[in-house]
Amino acid sequence: MENTGTKQSAKTQQIRLIFGDCTFGIKGEGFHYIFSYTRGGLESLNKNGKEWLYRETLPTFWRALTDNDRGNGFGFQSAMWLGAGMYQKVKNIRVFVNERPIEMPIAPVNNQYTSQEYAETAEIIFSLEINTVPKTTVDVAYQVNGSGEIFVKMNYHGKKGLPELPLLGLRFIMPTQATYFEYEGLSGETYPDRMAGGAEGIYKVEGLPVPPYLVPQDCGVHMKTKWLKITRDTTLNNADTSKEEFSLRFEQVNGEFAFSALPFKAEELENATHIEELPPERRTVLVMMAKVRGVGGIDSWGADVEEAYHINAEEDHEFCFLIK
């Protein structure tokens, strides 16, 4: 196998590559990332000693049903997408070093590498099989450069016969609650069919607010976003008592994105029939969205969301963004 990494002698070498038996590590000044071959995503995103992930990053397809969704039977129609997001299978993995493919560096192949392998860029692409009927796949690529930026690209492959998608995005579950988040986009809560009242600007939102609906449902979506910065001041490290704020920034690539930042996963909102059934607020659940279904609201007794605000699961969809 060709060793595409190099030793640290050249000035252009910026990131260190760690080829584990089940993981691929990338380390540089102020950052350390770990990708899991078995789980199919980024499982550790450590910036300046602060961990940003509590679970691995994976595609997500479900948003909690709204009153209007329940009224028009959308949950019955598209229920398979709830389970599809919870149970995904790693189908294939490709690794690139300096934009050149290398043989999959698992044992025993990884034994050819030293503990001092360096490169200018590294990329890992996960192909995930989604257990729908019929089955489909999603490819998620992560490319890292010497400054620690992560370019993320997700490709969803449509299949004939699949029901409409509630949502298409990538989910980041963070260890502790955000103290606030800032973004440039539309004010307030907006959806594809609820943007007229949003004013463009830069906004700061304290905490992770959840509207006190009697029956919990999807909420907190922000459309037409150019950048987002999540700020926390706590970790799960008992030795870290600094309470200093630290942030992670997400930026648009080839078009604006939507996002939600909440203390609950969509499954937790879905499972609660009353607000007191929600679990304690402990995490930050960020969903970076390529697409999200409209909420409708023409009536709550059967009217569907207007056609322009559906997500066709039979078509291919692509989504890119940058983590800084």
Can you give the pTM of this predicted structure? 0.94
**Which residue in 279, 259, 305 sits closest to 66, CA to CA?**
305
pLDDT (0 to 100) of residue 297: 86
Rounded to an integer, the average pLDDT of 120-136 is 97
pLDDT classification of 6: cutoffs 50, 70, 90: very low
Is 313's pLDDT higher than 50? yes
pLDDT (0 to 100) of residue 302: 84
Q: What is the per-residue pLDDT across 314-324, written as a single tens digit (0 to 9) for each? A: 999 999 999 99
Rounded to an integer, the average pLDDT of 253-274 is 96
Tallying the residues shown for the chain, one arrives at: 324
Provide the total of helices (H) and of strands (E) in the chain, helices listed first. Answer: 4, 21
Calculate the average pLDDT of the chain.
94
pLDDT (0 to 100) of residue 299: 86
| DSSP string across 194-243 | B-TT--EEEEEEES------SS-----EEEEESEEEEEE---S-TT----
Cα(53)–Cα(284) distance, integer angstroms: 9
pLDDT (0 to 100) of residue 39: 96
Cα(215)–Cα(276) distance, integer angstroms: 9
Q: At a CB cut-off of 8 Å and minimum separation 6, what does 154 contact?
A: 59, 138, 139, 140, 141, 170, 290, 318, 319, 320
What is the phi-psi region of residue 292: left when phi exceeds 0, alpha when psi lies from -120 to 50, beta otherwise?
beta
pLDDT (0 to 100) of residue 12: 55
pLDDT (0 to 100) of residue 300: 76
Q: What is the per-residue pLDDT across 41-96, written as a single tens digit (0 to 9) for each? A: 999 999 999 999 999 999 999 999 999 999 999 999 999 999 999 999 999 999 99
Residue 30 per-residue DSSP state:
T
